[in-house]
A and B are shown apart, each in its own frame.
Chain A
Amino acid sequence: MLTYIVRRLIQTVPVIFGVILVVFLIMQMVPGDPAVLIAGDGASEETVQAIRHDLGLDRPLPLQYIQYVLDVFRGDLGTSYRSDHPVMDEIMLRLPTTIQLALASIVITIVLGMIAGIVSATRQHSTADRLIMLVALLGISLPSFWLGMMLISFFSVKYHLLPVTGWGSLEHVILPAITLGASGAAIVARMTRSSMLDVIHQDYIRTARAKGLKNRLIVYKHALKNALIPVITVIGLQFGTLLGGTVLVESVFAINGLGRLIVDAIRMRDLPVVQGGVLVASVIFVFVNLGVDLLYRYFNKRIEMD
């Protein structure tokens, strides 16, 4: 197992380099000259040239890339065009908020999704099952930002139950977390249901019945542990969608997190921030995936033999 962990860790290195490369390349696609942008209108040619040299933009592309990689590993993600602060600082200021939101949302995704999936599977074809699957369908079909807006309209505007925007207490977290976690919960519910149904028809469940075990024990002990194994992977993937979704949800709820930082930066053409933000989010996701993969291997011991 340990060797496997090390091996996977090593495998993430090229992926991270690849992510850095992709981000770098995408930024190269930006039309226009960043030096001109910084210098402002009306700046003289020498000023622009000086800035360009400062930023290292006059060197060949591969060297720029290497410089960028080195900078990244040193923690230097550049300087924001707009605020003139280091990008890393700007990100670190807002990252905790986003992490909190993401965690709250993933809890909703996992708990709500699994419970719904289990209930559905154990009561297959019943009204509860159909209802849950209907809600799940809505969960994956409704745009998250729209759901957020509708929730705000209902809970905050009409009934004043919860605050509209802001951050800091449980009340602030509820609506955004539900909005963000809804589609994930729907997917997890569907996956859990189908996985449970698969498992319930397996031979070893028949054996458990032949041993005289009570139904509840069979479902929660024998079936569940097997059924949840593929669901783990799905949860990992959903974390990615969730992280990406913070961009939308933070905008709707005016939450000062990483997602909103990126969106504002795009609007302001503050490219270093966009670059840095996307990079940080992606690296986080890579490690989350690694964790999920290890968790999966731990539970699915059968493939440990590989």
Chain B
Amino acid sequence: MAMLTQEKLLEVQGLQTYFFTDEGISKAVDGIDFSVHRGETLGLVGESGCGKSMTSLSIMQLLSRPGRTVGGQILFKNEDLLTKSEEQMRRIRGKEISMIFQEPMTSLNPVYTVGEQVAEVFRLHENLGRKEAWAKAVELLRMVGIPSPEERAHQEPFRLSGGMRQRVMIAMAMACQPDLLIADEPTTALDVTVQSQILDLMKQLQERMGMSIILITHDLGVVAETCDRVAVLYAGQIVEYASVDSIFDNPKHPYTQGLLQSLPRIDEDQEELLAIPGTVPSPYDLPSGCRFAPRCAFRKDICSTAQPELLKNSDEEWVRCWMYDENWSGSDASGQPHISNQEGSKVI
């Protein structure tokens, strides 16, 4: 695990990003709060459509119409990114905050060589000349583990495999030693063997540079291996935010519990794989009250009528659920039914 400091690099508060379309308003991100400390890896977890990518795009302010951030604050080094001009954001992108995307096959420009694309970052942010930038690009390619980088740099992306392209993406992102790297499902499109290589690479670079990472994924296995803290998203909101140990050993929110439960376990015989019944609500048509309530085994009356607030306890554990009240503290909330691994899970 990386060295954690208490200094908060990024603090997202009440982020709201909506899409204004002909079909109505899609509340893709509707109340996201989390923090990222220096040197920390935060996992942003959730099913597809829960708003993970939109959150990251909101941070980078790379949203395209008809999406728009309509509320909240994004404090990066204590400055609100949402108040910055496009010009200011451009200077931050690629330099202080970098992002890598899910599809390495299409995320690189097909008509330029790999070297040119990496060098471009140096030429842009560090004002280096062509030769210098190229030399540094080659070094960077070497650092991310691309063999024969001098030759590879002269090749177009289509000549490289998916894993290698992702390494190039990482190289581009790392070029200016950013404080924060946002990795949006960086390994989902890759083969399993390549996945771990990429994750290892990211970890190595993180240790070398003291960088923070936001790792967006739906794969809890990846989270367990690489993250220090985890934020669980559901239907555009954070429903739980805690350290990785806390999430796995003592999940608070029923959704988190459900996610963990649906992981196949190798240490037990399982009669059936437990899935969370129901489906994620459409962001155009969100239920009033708790958004997870329709699928929740522990649903109470209040869950359908009022949305729970995000409660924070002294151990930096946050949860958004009516099962917990303001007086809740510590990891052992009394009187709370825990989901056991028997068929006691109530199916709705």
Closest to A217 in B: B124
Dominant SS among interface residues on chain A: helix
Task: Determine, out of A89-97, A169-177, A198-206, A277-285, the stretch whose residues face the partner at the interface.
Answer: A198-206
A207 an interface residue at 8 Å Cβ cutoff? yes
Interface size bracket, A side: 20 to 34
B188 an interface residue at 8 Å Cβ cutoff? no
Task: Determine, out of B105-113, B144-152, B215-223, B255-263, the stretch whose residues face the partner at the interface.
Answer: B105-113
B120 in complex: contacting residue of A209, A213, A229, A302, CB < 8 Å: A213
A187-234 residues with Cβ-Cβ distance < 8 A to B are 202-204, 206-214, 222, 225-226, 229
Asked if B109 contacts A210 (CB within 8 A), the reply is: no
A206: chain B residues at CB < 8 Å are: 62, 101, 107
B89: chain A residues at CB < 8 Å are: 212
Asked if A204 contacts B93 (CB within 8 A), the reply is: no
Asked if A212 contacts B124 (CB within 8 A), the reply is: yes
A207 to B94, CA, bound (A): 10
B121 in complex: contacting residue of A202, A211, A229, CB < 8 Å: A211
B125: chain A residues at CB < 8 Å are: 212
A203 to B125, CA, bound (A): 21
Asked if B110 contacts A211 (CB within 8 A), the reply is: no
Asked if A204 contacts B107 (CB within 8 A), the reply is: yes
A204 to B124, CA, bound (A): 17
A24 an interface residue at 8 Å Cβ cutoff? no
B110: chain A residues at CB < 8 Å are: 204, 226, 301-302
A197 to B172, CA, bound (A): 25
Given contacts A212-B92, A222-B109, A301-B111, A207 and B124 within 8 Å (CB-CB): no
A212: chain B residues at CB < 8 Å are: 89-95, 121, 124-125
B98: chain A residues at CB < 8 Å are: 210-211
B101: chain A residues at CB < 8 Å are: 203, 206-207, 210
Closest to B96 in A: A212
A68 an interface residue at 8 Å Cβ cutoff? no
A167 an interface residue at 8 Å Cβ cutoff? no
Q: Mark B48-72, 1 if CB is under 8 A from A, else 0.
A: 0000000000001010000000000
A222: chain B residues at CB < 8 Å are: 109, 112
A214: chain B residues at CB < 8 Å are: 90
B95: chain A residues at CB < 8 Å are: 212
A301: chain B residues at CB < 8 Å are: 110-111, 156, 158
A229 to B125, CA, bound (A): 29
A302: chain B residues at CB < 8 Å are: 110, 156, 158
B211: chain A residues at CB < 8 Å are: none
A299 an interface residue at 8 Å Cβ cutoff? yes
B309 an interface residue at 8 Å Cβ cutoff? no
8 contacts between A and B (CB under 8 A): A202-B106, A209-B93, A212-B89, A213-B124, A301-B158, A302-B110, A302-B156, A305-B158
- Given A203-B107, A210-B93, A301-B156, 12 other A-B residues pairs in contact with their CB atoms under 8 A: A203-B103, A204-B110, A209-B62, A211-B94, A211-B124, A212-B90, A212-B125, A213-B120, A225-B111, A301-B110, A301-B158, A305-B158
